[in-house]
Structure 1
Amino acid sequence: MVNFVLVAGARLGAWAWDDVAPRLRAAGHAVHPLTLSGLAEKRGLPAGQQTHVQDIVAEVERHDLREVVLVGHSYAGVPVGQAAQRIGDRLARLVLVDSAVPVDGRSFAAGWPDGGAALRAAIAANGGSWPCARPEHFAGHGLSEEQTARLLAGATPHPGATLTEPATLTGSLAALPTTYVKCLLAGAEPDEDVAELLAGGHWRLVELDTGHWPMFSRPADLARLLLDAAVH
């Protein structure tokens, strides 16, 4: 048995894993979907980048979890990657689902093509939070109307400081046992930061023919990939 800790991307909470978590539990594993500070049922709590890292570390330590498969989707790859270094030998495997990766001293926003200018402007115009996406943001990602409606209904604005504050790493992520899940409808090739880590020899690339939110569009297939990652 392993302990899955599941962290969804920007604007989402633990609820985003509702179609995946039961499949992991049915396979005999413990599952801990996690809502980060400032989102979903924790909306309103102040949060910066290191708040989210500590949210993840605290979840592992509070439950004294061992054999942890730490899963980060999209934005959550940034705090999850940092947390993976901090939980030491509790970590069995890191799984990054179509996610960003943390770079020491660099923010999530800085990894954007324009250096994060548009993201910072949107945060400033929305009182310090990244506003929820419009329906067209989800087009072309293999989502049904019902799945898109669930995403829109459940999303909350994302605390801006978590996106603009820098990551802090204690070493290279390349040494961690990691599975990277590339969702092909979101782009066929991993970005440069991910490609560099994949070249290090400890990371494994798997592909999923769906869009950026596979916990909605392909939950059974994503669960299968997570179960496979837990034993490899």
Structure 2
Amino acid sequence: MIRGEAWGPGATWTLEVFPALLGADDDPAVFVPRHHTVARAHREHAGLRLPRTGLVMESLIPSVLEQRITTGSAHYAWRCLLARYGEPPPGPAPQGMRVTPAPQVWRMIPSWEWHRAGVDRARATAILRACHRAPRLEEAAAMPLPDATARLQLIAGIGPWTAAETLQRTLGAPDALTLGDLHLPVQIGYALTGRHDGTDELMLQLLAPYPGQRHRAARLILLGGPLPDRRAHRAPHSRIAHL
């Protein structure tokens, strides 16, 4: 049994959605492995659940920050911006922890602060566009995956990669497969075929036996391997999706 406690103005809401945050809305029982590698990972990680936050902007902004850069650089930008513009959380919390700013706060961040955090103009502009339309984007949390994806991509600078990365967390969507990633197609291709030249096209073919569950299949493959050494392959020259 898991016990939750919450503080501050969002406490009631947090406790209401607490089960979904832990993956209670997910239904992994419908997943049927079609590859030996996936079946093994499914057995070894039988407790895997896809959590659902129900919040769009809190997942969208960090997803935009992750575009075209390393994970470490994205984490640095997120940490810098939250440290300066986030608020301390109510109740007991680790020192230095911050609550994600509201859209109106993001909109007030001056250009030099984005630059100081290592965020280029294209990503900063995409975030500001999204914040101007935050209420409409938040509606995507109650939409089916295709409609939610289309809603997010109405914002210039948000493409299939960013939409999928956002909706994996917002909806707990088991089919929100990330396209246009530099590493994921190579990792999936290597795990299922032993090839090092994975592309989005090949990944889509390999995951075709998992309709409605392609993101879950990819997560299991990443958990169960085998995965190539990232230094041993080069990213594909072409990508079928815009970020």
Q: Please tell me whether Structure 1 or Structure 2 has the larger radius of gyration of its CA atoms.
A: 2
TM-score normalised by L of structure 1: 0.29
Write 1 or 2 for the structure with the bigger share of strand. 1
